[in-house]
Homo-oligomer: A and B are copies of this chain.
Amino acid sequence: MNDTRRALTLRRRPAGMPGPDDFTLIETPVPTPAEGQVVTRTIWLSIDPYMRGRLSDRASYTAPVAIGGVMTGETVGEVIASAAAGFAPGDVVVGSRGWETHSLSPAQQLTRLDRNGPPLSTYLGVLGMPGTTAYSGMLDVGRVKAGETVVVSAASGPVGSVAGQLAKRAGARVVGVAGGAEKCLWVQETLGFDDCVDHRTMDLAEALAAACPKGIDVYFENVGGAVQAAVIPLLNVFSRVIVCGMVAQYNDARPPPGPNLGFMIAKRVLMQGILVSDRPERFAEWRALAAPWVKDGSLRYRETVIDGLENAPDALAQVLRGGNFGKMLVRVGPDAA
């Protein structure tokens, strides 16, 4: 057992794309749990686009990470010391902790995982926060009906890939938008989307219109920018837009203007901003629903793994550039024994 805890703290607020120089690697002793607490060693660290918001001091839905504070993030870890009833060394847990090799957490913030279930990393992606986001967005806002057309941006990512597969299960025509031929091929052939538009090489307006001959009934928004602008004119009467992310603008100091909202009246569009933590009950619901689908292979996913905590800043930059393929993970420590 390693007696030193390593952690990445925020050194300064990045201008534009974040990088390693924006963080400091610190070393401290592994903490000891007090009553009700658990100490874990990190196995997997999740890297997600929302993290860019935590680095800036712009007002958002939660406070930013303080300068000098450990960067936050979801992890899967193994309990190495416990002073909490119901948790013992060797247990594997998922929770919102930080960019660190060891975490001290109140036990009630952790969820114990089945070590004989799906791969542990999936609890950060397809079965975790991103998958639950897709599930809640489609269930609570999208309400897709058979025969409708659904467009999903960032379609090969951990949110978009689940959103689109759920829409396929609901009997919709599903069109993805992704960056590059390789991702588009995977979105169509492996995920089973009906079509996929490559935003790097295609004229978005033209390609989307061709892929959506009956217009768009549901748009799962993960990127903003040019994709959003191309989708809006194709929205149908009574369409729904799940406003989940706008990764295209997360590095912008001043986000660009958006769409004139007149289309919302003409088409009676519903747009709803979502944050998965507003509906905490959806996490367990989704794990119970989707774990069997992951085990039987009917719910597909893809992961990009980078080794070593110190590479987390680069992993985040990759996500913000769309350089990842599927769920971005940092392997911080060896798998559970």
Contacts and interface: CB of A to CB of B under 8 A. Distances in A.
Interface of A: 59-61, 221, 224, 228, 237-238, 243-246, 249, 255-275, 278
Contacts of A246: 261-262, 265
Nearest 8 Cβ contacts at the A-B interface: A264-B273, A257-B257, A255-B260, A258-B260, A243-B264, A265-B273, A268-B273, A60-B266
Contacts of A244: 265
Nearest to A264: B273
Contacts of A59: 266
A258 B261 contact: yes
Centre residue among A266, A273, A274 by max chain B CB count within 10 A:
A273
B265 A275 contact: yes
Contacts of A266: 59-61, 273
Contacts of A274: 265, 268
Copies of the protein in its oligomer:
2
B272 A268 contact: yes
Nearest to A256: B260
18 contacts: A61-B268, A224-B262, A243-B261, A245-B265, A246-B261, A246-B262, A249-B260, A249-B262, A255-B262, A257-B259, A258-B258, A258-B260, A264-B272, A265-B273, A267-B273, A268-B274, A269-B272, A271-B271
Given A269-B273, A272-B268, A272-B270, A224 B261 contact: yes
Contacts of A243: 261, 264-265
A228 B265 contact: no
A259 B237 CA distance: 21
A163 to B, nearest CB: 15
A260 B257 contact: yes
Given A228-B261, A268-B275, A271-B272, 10 more contacts: A61-B267, A224-B260, A224-B262, A243-B265, A244-B265, A257-B257, A257-B259, A258-B258, A269-B271, A270-B273
Nearest to A265: B273
Nearest to A269: B273
A45 B122 CA distance: 63
A274 B264 CA distance: 8
Contacts of A256: 260
A269 B180 CA distance: 32
A135 to B, nearest CB: 17
B271 A264 contact: yes
A3 B257 CA distance: 56
Contacts of A258: 257-261
Given A255-B262, A258-B259, A258-B261, A270 B270 contact: yes
A308 to B, nearest CB: 31
Nearest to A62: B266
A264 B271 CA distance: 8
Contacts of A245: 265
Nearest to A240: B272
A269 B275 CA distance: 10
Contacts of A260: 224, 249, 255-258
B261 A271 contact: yes
